[in-house]
């Protein structure tokens, strides 16, 4: 009698070292060095081991970098992007920049990211020459220091054996280019649906060169990681009626001041509303000494599906 082998794939527990995290950071910066194909036309390469679709933060960061390659000596002050189609991680992305306006103080660009001739992401962004002006901000809320918060891997490894394969599949890459320390356990890790604010300390594992625009692009990458989880904090992982299909629909960032992505930043998020199969979340990003340097908002798809009707793409 012959035994029939199981078709079920097993996922090994991640063993993440500091060297692996630094290598992931270096790989992200390399992917932001876009290949110039022609004037205002660039090619970007994707993160490996992504399952099913490109990470939206990568496309947003590369789009911002493409726009910045056509601007001289200005920093971005805002971007507004729409995720139009799921990107194929096995195919490079082509970025076309449209020079909408070059003014004395503001420069505006439009970027379309395409694969196989179809748009997967569309972004408008604006750059501003620094000016002095009035100043105020909301105070940073209290938060425990980042050194007291477990790293992502420290939280992940004890939970690994209990996680369903669909979660292991999503987080298979292991080392991350951003050290993100969630003050509360994320919903996808089994955290409670407590509502309220979601606070995360973040920075790169190692130093980044003194290029303020590069720091903006890496922050654009990082801001897409956790906003959908902030929406889900109100409803638990699968919602009240069944599985959830989730995806980022649009994303916007305002840069209020220069920042360093290799210093600790506190990402304070909340989700004022969900409805109509969409969730809305916003975040304020503070330096460790309390300066508000950026704000982000996102709307995400939160579609209730039956497992028999559609693939369960919930995180």
Catalytic residue among 63, 216, 226, 248: 248
> pLDDT (tens digit, 9 = 90+) per residue, 113-166?
999 999 999 999 999 999 999 999 999 999 999 999 988 777 777 777 766 666
| Weakest-pLDDT range from 2-11, 66-75, 182-191, 288-297 | 2-11
Compute the 3-state secondary structure of the chain and give helix, strand, coil in percent, each to the nearest 5: 20, 35, 45
Whole-angstrom Cα distance, residue 249 to residue 299? 6
Cα–Cα distance, 281 to 286 (Å, whole number)? 17
Q: Which domains does the chain have, with CATH numbers?
A: 18-130+147-305 (2.40.160.210)
User: Residue range 8-36: average pLDDT?
Assistant: 84
At 2, the pLDDT band (50, 70, 90 cuts) reads: very low
Residue 278 confidence class, pLDDT cut points 50, 70, 90? very high
User: Which residue out of 179, 224, 229, 270 is catalytically annotated?
Assistant: 224
User: Residue 129 — φ and ψ, nearest 5°?
Assistant: -70, 135
**Other C-beta atoms lying within 10 Å of the C-beta of residue 184:** 16
Catalytic: which of 243, 284, 298, 314?
A: 298
Whether 298 sits among the annotated catalytic residues: the reply is yes
Percentage of the residues of the chain whose pLDDT score is greater than 90 = 65
58 is catalytic: no
Tell me the whole-structure pTM to 2 decimals: 0.89
78 is annotated as an active-site residue: no
pLDDT score at 247: 87
Q: Measured in whole angstroms, how far is the alpha carbon of residue 209 from the centre of its chain?
A: 21
Cα–Cα distance measured from residue 91 to residue 130, given in angstroms and rounded to the nearest whole number: 38
Residues forming beta bridges with residue 294, ordered by sequence position: 255, 285
Reading the block at residue 109, the tokens are: 């660009």
pLDDT, tens only, 192-202: 667 778 999 99
Q: What is the pLDDT of residues 214-269, one digit of tens each?
A: 999 999 999 998 898 888 887 765 444 447 788 899 999 999 999 999 999 999 99
Mapping DSSP to helix (H, G, I), strand (E, B) and coil, where does residue 65 land? helix
Q: Which residue reads 């330096």 in tokens?
A: 287
Q: What order of strands is seen across the sheet that includes strand 198-203?
A: 35-38, 41-44, 93-102, 106-115, 118-128, 75-83, 243-255, 292-305, 278-287, 265-275, 198-203, 179-182
């Amino acid at each position: 009698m012959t035994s029939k082998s199981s078709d079920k794939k097993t996922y090994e527990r991640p063993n993440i070292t500091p060297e692996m995290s630094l290598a992931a950071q270096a790989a992200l910066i390399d992917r932001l060095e876009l290949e110039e194909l022609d004037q205002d036309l660039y090619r970007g390469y994707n993160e490996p081991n992504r399952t099913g679709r490109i990470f939206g933060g990568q496309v947003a960061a590369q789009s911002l970098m493409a726009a910045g390659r056509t601007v001289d000596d200005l920093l971005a002050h805002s971007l507004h992007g729409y995720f139009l189609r799921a990107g194929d991680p096995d195919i490079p992305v082509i970025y076309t920049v449209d020079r909408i306006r070059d003014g004395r103080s503001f420069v505006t660009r439009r970027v379309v990211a395409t694969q196989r001739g179809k748009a997967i992401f569309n972004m408008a962004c604006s750059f501003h020459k620094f000016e002095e002006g009035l100043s105020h901000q909301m105070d940073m809320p209290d938060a425990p220091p980042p050194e007291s918060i477990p790293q992502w891997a420290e939280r992940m490894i004890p939970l690994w054996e209990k996680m369903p394969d669909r979660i292991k599949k999503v987080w298979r890459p292991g080392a991350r280019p951003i050290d993100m320390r969630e003050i509360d356990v994320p919903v996808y890790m089994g955290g409670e649906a407590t509502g309220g604010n979601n606070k995360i300390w973040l920075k790169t594992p190692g130093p980044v060169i003194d290029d303020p625009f590069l720091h903006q692009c890496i922050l654009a990458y990082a801001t897409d990681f956790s906003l959908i989880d902030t929406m889900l904090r109100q409803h638990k992982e699968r919602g009240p009626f069944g599985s959830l299909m989730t995806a980022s629909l649009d994303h916007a960032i305002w840069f209020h001041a220069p920042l360093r992505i290799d210093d600790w930043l506190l990402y304070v998020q909340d989700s004022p509303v969900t409805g109509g199969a969409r969730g809305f979340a916003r975040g304020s990003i503070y330096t460790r000494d309390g300066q508000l340097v950026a704000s982000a908002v996102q709307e995400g798809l939160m579609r209730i599906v039956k497992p028999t009707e559609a693939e369960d793409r919930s995180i």
